[in-house]
A and B are shown apart, each in its own frame.
Chain A
Amino acid sequence: MATDKINLTIDDTQVAGKVGMTVLEVARENGIYIPTLCYHRQLTPYGGCRMCIVEIEKMRGLPPSCTTPATEGMVVKTNTPQLQDFRRGVLEFILTEHPHVCLICDRRQRCKPFDICLRSASVTERCVLCPENGHCELQEVSDYVGIKEIKLPYTYKREEVYRNDPFFDRDYNLCILCGRCVRMCQEVRGAAAIAFIQRGSRTVVGTAFGHPLQESGCQFCGACVDACPVGALAERARKWAGEPDREVVTTCPYCGVGCQLKVELKGDRIIEVLPHEENETNRGQVCVKGRFGIQEFVYHQDRLKTPLIRRDGQFVEASWDEALDLIASRLGNYSKDEVAVIASAKCTNEDNYVAQKFGRAVLGTNNIDHCARL
């Protein structure tokens, strides 16, 4: 059987890939950076932003690596002066409509948190007012390409900022029209709640007839927010929470799919819950409840915090010892046919195992069930 392994040379390095992979995928897999904006690993290649162009020997022009299949013996260059010039040209066009003080401000290296901006930028366009500042893909790409100044005239788009939808804000003044949100919504989620509306230079992402998201078929899964490379889409609750300092992978507590989630923490506080990508269950996708529905109930003021014992019809706070002693003495008074244990489809395997063991081994009853049928 023929092997499906192929060998390429990228930037003078021998690398291996598999038949069916694109040049970009082979490069990424081998740790070689090629700048991209419209590319997203969960979406079909789009070839729109032209940042990922490469030079390939015996091939005309500058093919985009995201749509070019890798073949045996290819010799690829990803970072030549010609490529960088070309990228810089395209990027400058993108930046004529994207606030870019964050890229070219002379104080960029010097400003510390809480420094007051020294009027080098208009109030609405300051770097600190972009929720993605510091982890923006456009900044990353611009730094790689080397943008020092924008020679072309710049216009602020004056698009409406949508702050009334549940969970996330949409500021299309920061949008670079990469289409990742639109394609994610159509291709992966099948909701097609958003699309490019208007044409030409007025193109913008929006809903049919400008309806609110809630009336547009939006499922609020947040996949668009996660796909957005810039600050156009941002989860409202975590917008200014800063960078997480650790991450815990766990399983979603809602339905039976068992999506793997990344719980992002700052100190001991959950600031965000994101879909986990490297798993067999949900592969980087999640629904509205897992994405946005966890922190609020976890930290809700109505959470039970101490044991409660009913005395004269009223609940009274009690210590654990008091409550557990009371339960142990009361439950001990009934025969095995007078008691029942109701376990839980919400609790862990370990909780349930212990619960049925308690019922069977201590209370002596098999009256054990849970809501499996409901």
Chain B
Amino acid sequence: MTNSIHDIGESACILAIGTNTNEAHPVISLEVLRSLRQKGGKLIVVNPREIGLVRHATLWVRPRPGTDVPLLLGMAKVIVDDGLLDKTFISERCENFEEFETTLKDIDLPTVSEITGVPVDRMIEAARMYATSKPAAILYTMGITQHSHGTDNVMAIANLAMLTGNIGKPGSGVNPLRGQNNVQGACDMGGLPDVFSGYQQVGNEAARQKMEAAWGIQLNPVRGLTLTEIFDAAHRKDIKAIYLIGENPVLTDPDSNHVQQALEHLDFLVVQDIFLTETAKLADVVLPSTSSVERDGTFTNTERRVQRVRKAIEPIGDSRPDWLITCQIAQRMGGKGFDFSHPSEIMDEIARVTPSYGGISFARLEKIGLQWPCPTPEHPGTAILHTQVFTRGKGKFTPVLYRPPAEVPDKEYPLVLTTGRRLFQYHSGTMSRKVKGLNLIVKEGTVEINPVDAAALGIVHGDNVRVTSRRGEVTAKASVTEVSQRGVVFMDIHFAESAANVLTNAALDPVAKIPEFKVCAVKVEKNH
């Protein structure tokens, strides 16, 4: 997030696009309500589904899945044509505007309307509302990113924010809401194939030399494989061993059957987890790790705030915290610099080698979390990014073009499947499915289908249905509801018994390598 969670409540207008905020980030949706109720703010919800937030929305824009780029371009065109752009911000803070403006000339609103299914006047209303109510914040999540054109979606959002000067000010910003408790931190720490901690490129000579000096060992300059590439390589038997910590890719990655086969092809698989997950069942060695209430450490949340995780109880059974297990393996393999006795010592090393975490220590985090960049021990942390200059200097307008999703409906697979989370379950259910009360409320996965589509297929609410894509099939109960628009079905990702990712498409965004979870073609039949 460029801004902070509490800052959202200060917005005059919130554009929530591709985010089911009240289910996936319930406490952030409270800030949205605060803006509406206490500040008289406006809320534009852009979502193909009638999510809970729609009830509170000033305006609901309902595009077809996978058509965000033309919609955002259409809105940008309205803003430019109506002269609602922030000329000072663009000329002082941005570059490449002329080229972007030229591409807008070819945009024709009726055509956009045809692609997106959004009426022209609604598009105009949304654009004007966003551009004229300041400060305006954009919230988005995986509804924007999990597409084969996810990067384009994000660029289109950034263009819209720069166009209206909604960057670097309180109550504004471009705010991707991160889905996992520490996905921000895992990225910050260099849990990525191309960067060390703090996004220092492994291919960058200076960065690598610095890390080599810190760690006292020569390092590999070639960027590694991403998660989806790792499984492809394992499938080809190029990757032979995986050391996996606390993830359940069999359920969470696209095209589950392919992932499962890839893991079976491995020569050696180590899984560290708190439960024997679907993935752990395929392992050669399973190591018991502690849950977060049994260990000390830090998580970095969606607003870049590093916060303490504190040990409340002793480890269950003979489980050990992950850092300790990894250090013990490393030391057995002759690794140097793994003799930490407490996570605070690891944070001290992180602060030494990571500029954005330079001022962070357990002592400082005792009272309140700190938002990075926090380069020095005196630095108060950074609540809003890009207030004076962008990280790269000038904000660059990037022209984007509409590309349809990798898989579109056809005769055989006539419906679009889109996937997501529910409030009462969490991700692959490793934790939430162990909680009785949560399972009482949502006990199984369902397929949400529009009443018109359901009637055409002879399906009534509660029927058992079979959903088939080019990659596999699953069965689940039908939930006939107008929450789903015509031609679109929705499934959650929480249940192994009706694993939506058996169906999803592993088509990747060329830059971010994110799979297209939000659009694939399926057919739905009543299961007799």
Contacts and interface: CB of A to CB of B under 8 A. Distances in A.
Given A281-B307, A304-B275, A371-B180, A338 B247 contact: no
Contacts of A368: 190-193, 224
Interface in B231-256: 233-234, 238-247, 249, 252-253
Given A297-B431, A369-B192, A189 B292 contact: no
Contacts of B293: 248, 250, 253, 263, 270, 294, 298
Given A338-B239, A348-B343, A370 B312 contact: no
A365 interface: yes
A334 interface: yes
Contacts of B146: 373
A289 B190 contact: no
Contacts of A369: 191-193, 224-227, 230
A354 B441 contact: no
A194 B441 CA distance: 17
A115 interface: no
Interface string A320-335: 1001111110111010
Contact of A337 (B238, B242, B301, B436): B238
A350 interface: yes
Which of A214, A308, A325 has the most chain B CB atoms inside 10 A of its CB? A308
Contacts of B234: 340
A343 interface: yes
Interface in A266-311: 268-270, 279-283, 285-289, 292-294, 296-300, 302-310
Contacts, number: 465
Nearest to B286: A308
Interface stretch (A79-87, A96-104, A105-113, A355-363): A355-363
Q: Of A250, A326, A359, which is in contact with the most chain B CB atoms at under 10 Å from its CB?
A: A250
A116 to B, nearest CB: 34
A254 B426 contact: yes
A253 B242 CA distance: 25
Contacts of A323: 285, 287
B407 interface: no
Contacts of A351: 245-246, 297, 321-323, 326
Given A307-B286, A336-B220, A354-B323, A349 B298 contact: yes
A128 interface: no
B260 to A, nearest CB: 15
B316 interface: yes
Specify which of A252, A320, A366 lies most central, judged by the most chain B CB atoms within 10 Å of its CB. Answer: A366
B30 interface: yes
26 contacts: A190-B33, A258-B305, A287-B26, A289-B424, A297-B274, A298-B291, A304-B280, A304-B317, A331-B243, A340-B233, A342-B227, A344-B322, A349-B182, A349-B300, A350-B298, A351-B297, A351-B323, A353-B346, A354-B338, A363-B243, A364-B219, A366-B224, A367-B239, A371-B180, A371-B249, A372-B186
Interface pairs A-B: 8 shortest CB-CB: A305-B317, A258-B301, A348-B297, A366-B224, A256-B178, A344-B246, A343-B191, A166-B437
Interface of A: 166-167, 187-190, 214, 219-221, 248-260, 263, 265, 268-270, 279-283, 285-289, 292-294, 296-300, 302-310, 315, 318, 320, 323-328, 330-332, 334, 336-374
Given A355-B322, A367-B224, 10 more contacts: A189-B30, A256-B302, A268-B314, A281-B27, A293-B432, A303-B316, A331-B270, A344-B322, A350-B297, A366-B223
